[in-house]
């Protein structure tokens, strides 16, 4: 799987997970409708399915996905929560994305 395709799939996966967790948050913390749990459940099911589309071993995919999730979560913080990320937030994103790239795209033994 090429780099752009992998990153795109991870980004869509992260959005599905964040939506799946954000909607129950709205219900629990902001007294919104319990009906939000239905699309939340669908988003989390989509999240699990999207993770299964990667050809790499599941553990490697889960580990690498975490790096992209951090970046998407910081963008969510900025765009949805309206909180401007700090320089340390961006440094953390850069470090996590570097870790993701090493895990997903680093050399592997052929045996």
Quick one: what percent of the chain has pLDDT higher than 70?
A: 98
Q: Does residue 30 register a pLDDT over 90?
A: yes
Q: Are 16 and 61 in contact (CB under 8 A)?
A: no
- In order of 25, 27, 31, 47, 108, the CA distances from 35 in angstroms are 12, 9, 11, 19, 46
User: pTM for the whole thing?
Assistant: 0.86
Q: What is the pLDDT of residues 32-69, one digit of tens each?
A: 999 999 999 999 999 999 989 987 888 888 888 999 99
Q: Is residue 1 predicted with pLDDT exceeding 70?
A: no
Question: Cα–chain-centroid distance for residue 41?
Answer: 16
How far apart, in whole angstroms, are the C-alpha atoms of residue 22 and residue 69?
14
Structural domain spans, the chain: 3-105
């Amino acid at each position: 799987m090429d780099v752009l395709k992998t990153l795109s799939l991870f980004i869509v996966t992260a959005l599905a997970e964040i939506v799946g967790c954000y909607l129950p948050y709205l219900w629990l913390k902001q007294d919104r409708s319990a009906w939000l749990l239905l699309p939340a459940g669908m988003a989390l099911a989509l999240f699990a399915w999207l993770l299964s589309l990667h050809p790499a071993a599941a553990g490697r995919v889960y580990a690498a996905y975490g790096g992209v999730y951090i970046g998407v979560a910081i963008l969510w913080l900025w765009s949805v929560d309206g909180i401007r990320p700090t320089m340390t937030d961006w440094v953390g994103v850069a470090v996590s994305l570097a870790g993701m790239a090493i895990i997903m795209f680093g050399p592997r033994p052929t045996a």
